[in-house]
Amino acid sequence: MVFLFISLQKKEMIDTVKNRRTIRKYQQKDISCNLLNDLLETSFRASTMGGMQLYSVVVTRDAEKKAQLSPAHFNQPMVKGAPVVLTFCADFNRFSKWCKERDAEPSYNNLMSFLNAAMDTLLVAQTFCTLAEEAGLGICYLGTTTYNPQMIIDALGLPELVFPITTVTVGYPAEEPKQVDRLPMEGLIHEEEYHDYSTEDINKLYAYKESLDENKEFIKENGKETLAQVFTDVRYTKKDNEFMSENLMKVLGRQGFI
Amino acid sequence: MVFLFISLQKKEMIDTVKNRRTIRKYQQKDISCNLLNDLLETSFRASTMGGMQLYSVVVTRDAEKKAQLSPAHFNQPMVKGAPVVLTFCADFNRFSKWCKERDAEPSYNNLMSFLNAAMDTLLVAQTFCTLAEEAGLGICYLGTTTYNPQMIIDALGLPELVFPITTVTVGYPAEEPKQVDRLPMEGLIHEEEYHDYSTEDINKLYAYKESLDENKEFIKENGKETLAQVFTDVRYTKKDNEFMSENLMKVLGRQGFI
């Protein structure tokens, strides 16, 4: 009699991504330097414009530093609550310094270079996040980074040609939230050409989102009539967008990118 | 009685990323719709600003369409050579249309909204690339996307509030290039605060890159004295950067983002 056990227990990475959720509450447990550095070093293998690696990552573990960063992120509790806060910065400073040391004249003080560096930075940030989740950690992106860039620049001492693009809080999960909804993929993919959306398309694409109890609750809480109004009138308003756009230009100028 | 336990070694996703290289030559083999859609749909689980999903992906398989896109990418052979070309676009059109259909007044025609949408887009693009590589595909990012955005907008019919951010060519690898160099990670990570680079730091960080035979060859080919000069005088020049920055502003204006 022969028993043949084949264990094909390979956990597929794609399943980790399929099941992912943003984690905002973390265990009181440090992330070891070894693990963090391995994840970061690996993420630096992400594609980069011309091999230039136009980014820097500032690692915050110190409680005082977190307290300094916290208001820039509207005091969202993840900043003080996570063992590690990572500020991913577009960085043309290092590359430009290298040029100057090698009889070359850098000219990366412009919008195109900012965008190139921002892209490099985001590819690294997202590679890090995917790897971190695969390693059992939870992450949260803080979109507030570009709303209050000057506060972050001051807190972290970022020189000219360095600009904070996004912040990720990381830690071992202390919650397992419900997975949030996504639009049906046919609404996000266009075959060969962009197919603009008719009223009917929009109704179909947003039907599930609008049907969710939590979103109906969200409308009530905010005293609005539609979910879209919560976005336009409360969360991402004209006034805020215009103020932050102006501020962004100002700080990009101060950091030497415009 | 024989018990035979075979435990297949779990291939770690982190190793895929550690060993990755950009692939520019592809087999003449299609990517099935099932696989491509599974990878794309999974990548849409990436973090997104306020759950808004501010992106669209245009899938190009048609040879004529590739020929149309090719000049926008300076005729790099990957565009025509890859079975699939993906143009990842920042998209505030779909969300704004939804707002208008729901008695809400969108105001995402500004720089901050463009940057938010660009970030969403890049997180999806990079999640897709990591998943694609794990599935045995090879990818190449085309940074040329933001150099010639108008040609891409025309070829793909992108409406207002949609902007091409990056392009990824995908296919089964037909080459196994040498892995390219990266800076030592201590030059990319800053503990608690940004530590600016001294001449000595720069010399140390760039020593390996400068020692490589292919880079010495690259200097000679271009008739330059230092590797940095190849970047400043040939690959990413002041003239090009300034022209493309101006062009970027112009096209951002045309697409309604400024």
In order, the DSSP letters of A196-244 are PPPHHHHHHHHHHHHH-HHHHHHHHHTT-SSHHHIIIIIIS-HHHHHHH
The bridge status of strand B189-191 relative to strand A55-60 is: parallel
B101 touching chain A per CB within 8 A: yes
pTM of the model: 0.96
User: What's the CA gap between B223 and B210, in Å, rounded?
Assistant: 16
pLDDT in the model for residue A9: 47
Helix (H, G, I), strand (E, B) or coil at B31: coil
Q: Count the Cβ atoms, other than its own, within 10 Å of residue A204.
A: 14
Q: How many inter-chain contacts (A to B, CB under 8 Å) are there?
A: 350
Residues linked to residue A139 through DSSP beta bridges, in sequence order: A170
Q: Which ranges in B61-184 belong to alpha helices (H)?
A: 63-69, 78-81, 93-101, 111-134, 149-156
Residue A32 C-alpha, separation from nearest chain B C-alpha, in angstroms = 14
Q: Which chain A residues contact residue B20 at CB under 8 A?
A: 45
C-alpha count within 13 angstroms, C-beta hemisphere, residue A110: 18
User: What's the CA gap between A249 and A179, in Å, rounded?
Assistant: 35
User: What's the CA gap between B164 and B150, in Å, rounded?
Assistant: 9
The answer to whether B8 contacts A3, with C-beta atoms less than 8 Å apart, is no
The band of A2, judged by pLDDT with boundaries at 50, 70 and 90, is low
pLDDT digits (tens, 9 = 90+) for B105-163: 999 999 999 999 999 999 999 999 999 999 999 999 999 999 999 999 999 999 999 99
Residue A22's contacts (CB-CB under 8 Å, 6 or more residues apart) are A138, A139, A140, A141, A177, A180, B47
pLDDT in the model for residue B5: 52
**What is the set of domains in chain A, with CATH numbers?**
13-177 (3.40.109.10)
Residues linked to residue B190 through DSSP beta bridges, in sequence order: A58
The band of A11, judged by pLDDT with boundaries at 50, 70 and 90, is low
**Does the pLDDT value for residue A6 go beyond 60?**
no
Q: Residue B161, exposed/middle/buried by CB under 10 A (0-12, 13-18, 19+)?
A: buried
Instruction: Return the percentage of chain A with pLDDT > 90, whole number.
Output: 95
DSSP per residue, A10-52: ---HHHHHHT------B-S-PPPHHHHHHHHHHHTTS--GGG-
Interface residue of A124, A126, A154, A205 to substitute, partner B, most B CBs within 10 Å: A126
Range 222-251 of B in CB contact (< 8 A) with A: 225-229, 231-233, 235-238, 241-242, 244-245, 248-249
A181 touching chain B per CB within 8 A: yes
Residue A254 C-alpha, separation from nearest chain B C-alpha, in angstroms = 17
Range 125-154 of B in CB contact (< 8 A) with A: 125-127, 129-131, 134-135, 139-141, 143, 146-147
Phi, psi dihedrals of residue A71, rounded to the nearest 5°:
-60, -30
Q: Which chain B residues contact residue A127 at CB under 8 A?
A: 17, 126, 130
**Which amino acid appears at position A102 of this protein?**
R
Range 4-33 of A in CB contact (< 8 A) with B: 4-11, 13-14, 16-18, 20, 22
pLDDT digits (tens, 9 = 90+) for B15-68: 999 999 999 999 999 999 999 999 999 999 999 999 999 999 999 999 999 999
Q: Which chain A residues contact residue B126 at CB under 8 A?
A: 46, 122-123, 126-127, 130
Residue B175 C-alpha, separation from nearest chain A C-alpha, in angstroms = 17
Residues linked to residue A5 through DSSP beta bridges, in sequence order: B5
**Does the pLDDT value for residue A170 go beyond 60?**
yes
Across chain A, mean pLDDT equals 96
Q: Which residue on chain B is closest to A209 by alpha carbon?
A: B51
